[in-house]
Amino acid sequence: MTAATTPLHYLSLADAAAALAARRISSAELTEAVIARAEAVEPRLRAFLSADPASARAQAQASDARRAAGGGLGPLDGIPIGLKDVIAVRDQPLTAGSRMLEKFVSPYDATVTGRLRDAGAVLYGRHNCDEFAMGSSTENSAFHPTGNPWALDRVPGGSSGGSAAALAAGEALATLGSDTGGSIRQPAALCGVVGLKPTYGRVSRYGLVAYASSLDQIGPFGRTVEDVALVLQAIAGHDERDSTSVGAPAEEFAAALAAPSVPRRLGLPREYFGEGLDPEVAAAVEQAVSHYRELGCEVREVSLPHTAYCLDTYYVLATAEASSNLARYDGIRYGHRCAEPRDLHDLYFRSRAEGFGAEVKRRIILGTYVLSSGYYDAYYLKAQKVRTLVRRDFLRAFAQVDALLTPTSPIPAFQRGEKADPLAMYLCDIYTIGANLAGLPAMSVPCGFTRAGLPVGFQLIGKPLGESELLAIGHAYDRVHQWGRRHPNL
């Protein structure tokens, strides 16, 4: 299917941008197609928590007026883009998938939201997610689960499952999610789209509802690697309102894709190809490896010896930070407040008990425990030391190779309710957590389907601030195979 015959709601961002620039379509037409698509599939998919079609139409009309006056703002001008409901959008609901914030309306824009506005994007829709981004299936949302567009009885991954599902289903041309332990990459793999977690600090976290502040990072979903590069180009950059924002110089990420390609060195971590990896996932990833070999890339086995400790380390550090971050939801300043509290203790206790779901409570309790007196050194401090060892493993590997290639998820999309045991759910992120602990850029690229028609993705992990090279490596595969341009039959 060519760009000329592809339905508007399934265009890649790059193709849509070219059509808008050539005046073959208008932003109003493109936005109307996306709204109509959402209205058609949402009763079954349920990727949205809220939407404002009137605002989207007004933004699209403003974009068309700019272009008519010769003042187009660039490739994102007039493109409908959705945001995970943990990213602040002025005058729009900001629930984080939780009853705690069910009635909260954001009074300001996140930095990434403002940068998308500056680029002329049409902001449409707040996407469903696991509550406070805590989950791997979008089943932990307090409002409703989201289906996988390729099989509605299966999960889309999480916690950014709504953003990945909406894109795959044609309800947006690109979306934003957040990634604390794999929450962009894992749903991207399960929904058959591209998802990038940038280097920690590359994209501002100002206006992101915090889960684990030393791990959280906002990043884009797209149908192609090129689409992801275009969105990253708009949202990346230093922000003085985020103390963890890095001062890296601006880069033309999309232009880097067109640079002459040279053979690169790719590392296959032996720890990522062992027990627990689904055979069909392994086969699809191996085919991607074969493609890189055919391109002349050197592929060698490397070792990340502390991989076995990543999951334990993550669930100590992430829950500790969650315990601290979520203490602000006390029923006093904002958020859910219980009815007729007897005293301050009752207000605090019942407001939090009623406002938070089971998984969030589980992580708060675990985090409070590992930070408590007598256990801090045994758990939290030790986990920080292991985190340093994990980062050293990656840096040693990068002395031998330019990027690492791994499966994104050990399994394809699973049935809703299948992972009722929390540990079984946590294991879904076994291949993605390491990049968060080390603060590295990582991207999931679609690489095929199982016999049951479920998408599979492989993961590329790059050097710190190495997004340009990472995108170029991913593009070398994606421009040939273009699995992300295939569409589910909804």
> What is the pTM (predicted TM-score) of this model?
0.97
pLDDT at 81 over 70: yes
Which pLDDT value is given to residue 260? 65
**Cα distances (angstroms) measured from residue 156 to each of 228, 416, 463:** 19, 9, 28
Contact 213, 132 (CB under 8 A): no
pLDDT at 1 over 60: no
Which pLDDT value is given to residue 398? 98
Which uninterrupted H or E stretch holds 161? helix 161-168
User: Half-sphere exposure (CA, 13 Å, Cβ side) for 387?
Assistant: 21
pLDDT single digits (tens) 451-484: 999 999 999 999 999 999 999 999 999 999 999 9
pLDDT single digits (tens) 115-166: 999 999 999 999 999 999 999 999 999 999 999 999 999 999 999 999 999 9
**Which domains does the chain possess?**
8-266 (3.90.1300.10)
Catalytic residue among 183, 323, 444, 468: 183
Residue at 313: amino acid letter: T
Beta bridge partners of 151: 148
Would you call 409 a catalytic residue per the annotation? no
Give me 213's structure tokens: 């502040």
Which pLDDT value is given to residue 316? 97
pLDDT at 359 over 70: yes
Q: Chain-wide mean pLDDT for the chain?
A: 96
Residue 444: closest CA among 258, 227, 184: 184
pLDDT at 31 over 90: yes
Binned at pLDDT 50, 70 and 90, residue 3 comes out as low
| Rounded-to-integer distance, Cα 151 and Cα 134, Å | 23
Which pLDDT value is given to residue 212? 98
| Rounded-to-integer distance, Cα 473 and Cα 461, Å | 10
Contact 130, 141 (CB under 8 A): yes
CA 194 to chain centre: 9
Catalytic residue among 63, 106, 159, 204: 159
Catalytic residue among 26, 84, 245, 444: 84
Would you call 159 a catalytic residue per the annotation? yes
Which pLDDT value is given to residue 217? 98
Binned at pLDDT 50, 70 and 90, residue 490 comes out as confident
Q: CB neighbours of 124 closer than 8 A, spacing ≥ 6?
A: 31, 34, 35, 51, 52, 53, 55, 56, 59, 80, 81, 82, 172
Would you call 160 a catalytic residue per the annotation? no
Give me 389's structure tokens: 């060892």
Binned at pLDDT 50, 70 and 90, residue 446 comes out as very high
